[in-house]
Structure 1
Amino acid sequence: MRMMLALALALTASSALADEVGDAHKLASQGRDSYSNCLAGEYSRPEAKGMSVQDFAADIAIACPSEWQNFRVRLLDYLSLQFPSTDTGVHLTTVNHAIATAEKDVMTAFLRRKGATN
């Protein structure tokens, strides 16, 4: 009987953790989408078309601070839940890489558009 109770408790705890990880993944995905959409908004601004590459890169680096922070926190939360034994520094490296990738994507689009207009 104790074994059955222990198994039931373990399954309940496992299910709760899975739900928490799933929720954290959803929030991280929403944060990523929000940040990417905000960066796309910077790309779409009419004045962005006339910017130099350096000016646009500087603009992107400081754009969307609340979306950037939300994505950063949500992704770090998710990674910490999904991989609890991994060092936080590794998770921060992954988060920084994800942010850099989002910024690189918008810069790539900007450079393509610049190349098409020259």
Structure 2
Amino acid sequence: MRALLAAVLSVMSFAAIADEIDDAHKLAVTGRDAYWNCLAREYPRDSNKSMTDQEFTALIATVCPSERQNFRVSLIDFLSLQFPKDDADKHLTTANRAIELAQKDIVTAFVRRKAAAR
């Protein structure tokens, strides 16, 4: 009977953890989308058309601070649940790299659009 109870509790615990991971994943995806959408709103602004590539890169690094932080935190939370044995610094590095790549993609699109307009 104890073995059965232990097995049931183990399955219930696993299901709860899986739900928690799934919820954290959804929050990370929502955070990513909010950050991307915010960056995308900066891309087409008329005031950016006269910027140099370096000026636009600097701008993108500073815009959307709350969305960027929400994405970072939600991604770290998800990674911490998904990979609990990994070091917290590794999760922070991964989150910061994801933010870097999002910024790089927007800047790349900006540079290509300017080059095509010439």
| TM-score normalised to structure 2 length | 0.98
Identity of aligned residues (%): 58
The runs of 5 or more residues in structure 1 that have no matched partner are none
More deviation, 74-83/39-48: 39-48
Distance in 1, matches of 2:44 and 2:104, equals: 15
Alpha-carbon deviation of 1:28? Answer: 0.2
**After superposition, what is the alpha-carbon deviation per residue over 1:77-105, rounded to whole angstroms, capped at 9, x for unaligned?**
00000000000111111111100010011
Per the TM alignment, residue 24 of structure 1 is displaced from its structure 2 partner at its CA by 0.2
2:28 maps to 1:28: yes
Structure 2 spans left out of the alignment, 5+ residues: none
* Counterpart for residue 90 of structure 2: 90
> After TM superposition, where is structure 1 displaced by more than 2 Å over at least 4 residues in a row?
none
Aligned to 1:62: 62
How far, CA to CA, are the matches of 2:76 and 2:14 in structure 1? 21
The size of the alignment, in residue pairs, is 118
Map 1:38-117 → 2, pairs under 5 A: 38-117=38-117
Q: Deviations for 1:59-82, whole angstroms, at most 9, x for unmatched residues?
A: 101000000000000000000000
Q: Give, in angstroms, the shift of residue 44 of structure 1.
A: 1.6
Secondary structure of the structure 2 residue equivalent to 1:50: coil
Q: Could you tell me how far apart the structure 2 residues matched to 1:2 and 1:39 are?
A: 55
SS at match of 1:67: helix
Distance 1:71 1:109 in 2: 21
Moved more, 19-28 or 37-46: 37-46
Residue 37 of structure 1 aligns with an amino acid whose one-letter code is: N
